[in-house]
Amino acid sequence: MSAVAVEESPTTTLNPLDMIEEIVVANQWPFDRSNDDELIVEIAARWCDYRLYFVWQEEVSAMQFSCQFDLKSLASRRSHVNELLADINSRMWLGHFDVCPDEHTPMFRHTILLRGAPRASVEQLEDLVEIALLESERYYPAFQFVISGGKTASEAVTASILDTVGEA
């Protein structure tokens, strides 16, 4: 493959956390922004409270995002949780699930690369949060089944992605 000469123009990517903060304020979600490069948001949802972490790394024009569950994994269930992570992540199209190494809590993670873009769009950031919350709500029961219910990863995923039909 031959190299293509491209003239680069100096562009500065605006900090996407400024726009995230506007979205958070508009939704009246509690948050903490201790510096320009970090933002933490608390969101109450159906299954638990989620903690959203946004970290901006200007030197690589990337924003790392995670949505951490309020659910702690027990040491005795870690191998089962790892099986669950592999199963769920094979189904994911955007982002992935992981376990926070310090707190042993499940979380959804994704990084957005913005090099060369003047800024992230509001729609991109809204979609990121919406997808993270939808996937977290979808798979929270699976993590709960494995961590507290003693289920296998396969049983947990099958139970969590069942689509109900009709009304009871």
pLDDT in tens, the chain (168 residues): 444 443 444 556 789 999 999 999 999 999 999 999 999 999 999 999 999 999 999 999 999 999 999 888 888 889 999 999 999 999 899 999 999 988 899 999 999 999 888 888 899 999 999 999 999 999 999 999 999 888 889 889 888 776 555 555
In a domain, 1, yes or no: no
What letter does residue 65 receive in the DSSP assignment?
Answer: E
> 1-10: buried (b, 16+ CB within 10 Å) or exposed (e) per residue?
eeeeeeeeee
Q: What's the number of domains the chain is made of?
A: 1
In a domain, 3, yes or no: no
In a domain, 151, yes or no: yes
Residue with tokens 């949780």: 81
In a domain, 167, yes or no: no
Residue with tokens 């499940």: 106
CATH of the domain at 38: 3.30.1460.70
What letter does residue 6 receive in the DSSP assignment?
Answer: -
Domain residues for the domain of 141 are 16-160
Best CA proximity match to 109, nearest among 122, 92, 120, 96: 96
3-state secondary structure of 86: helix
In a domain, 165, yes or no: no
Global pTM value: 0.84
Concatenate the DSSP letters of all residues of 2-57 into one string.
-----PPPP--PPPHHHHHHHHHHHTT--EEEEETTEEEEEEE-SSSEEEEEEEEE
In a domain, 43, yes or no: yes
Residues 6+ apart with CB under 8 A from 36: 15, 17, 56
In a domain, 22, yes or no: yes
66 strand-pairing partners: 53, 109
In a domain, 132, yes or no: yes
